[in-house]
Amino acid sequence: MRKTFLAGNWKMNYTSAEASIVAKKIATEVKALKDDFVIMIAPPFTALSKVSECIKGSNILLGAQNMSYMESGARTSEISPSMLLEFGVEYVILGHSECRLYLAETDEIINKKILTGLKHSFKYLILCVGETLDERDSGKTLDVVLNQVKKGLDGVSESDIKRIILAYEPVWAIGTGKTATKEEAEEVHRAIRLEIMKLYSKSASDNIIIQYGGSVNSSNVKELMNEPNIDGALIGGASLKAESFLSIINNVC
């Protein structure tokens, strides 16, 4: 049985003090969770230490928004796996469309990060994939998304795929207020699951968690989660306010 996984990506928002206030409120409000339900927040790097303290002993897990594929060395501005683990990070988001766009991360770089992350004791790595509006309008959605899946997972073994979560985030729906319809999202999620079966096995396909991301909010999350191949959400703007994130959680849990 796949778990329902809701993750809040806070992006470049909040000082450590501001992040602590929001994290404390979420951690305090989220009490008992079903066994098949997981909640994670990924604050900025500068807030990881404080947020880690705020959610300690709660039902909220700690994630990071990116990671270098280098263990150490001459990589100014980057952060290594061991640095993240020191703060108690259990999940790492990799290949987000904003990193692909603004930081020029290629599929090859993202794959290196996946392979490096698997060498460390992170619980899960979240591989983000998604198409632009031009690619969707050109009918290339599945070609683009499945190619990103294949290249991102190159060299990942059958045993290691168990530590990968996939997140389908159509670029045209991120921060725009536009959301893929439940049918559009389900079509891509189903295709991704079938691709995992081709690359690995039916067991891997049945068990891998695939999240949807792209202007998810309390009004649309439930109908998205009701689709058979959508297992959770990677939430941006709506996770920044404790009230809106809690509303999403309450609508699903």
Which positions are catalytic? 96, 169
Could you tell me the pTM of the whole model? 0.96
The residues near 148 (Cβ < 8 Å, ≥ 6 apart) are 95, 107, 129, 130
- Taking a C-beta distance cutoff of 8 angstroms, is the pair 48, 64 a contact? yes
Say what angle helices 141-152 and 182-199 make with each other, to 10 degrees. Answer: 40
- pLDDT band at 237, cuts 50/70/90? very high
- pLDDT band at 105, cuts 50/70/90? very high
Give the CA distances from residue 239 to residues 8, 88, 98, 222, 230, in Å, rounded to whole numbers and listed in that order.
Answer: 5, 20, 17, 16, 19
pLDDT per residue over 4-37, tens digit each?
999 999 999 999 999 999 999 999 999 867 778 9
Q: For the residues 54-63, what does the mean pLDDT come to?
A: 96
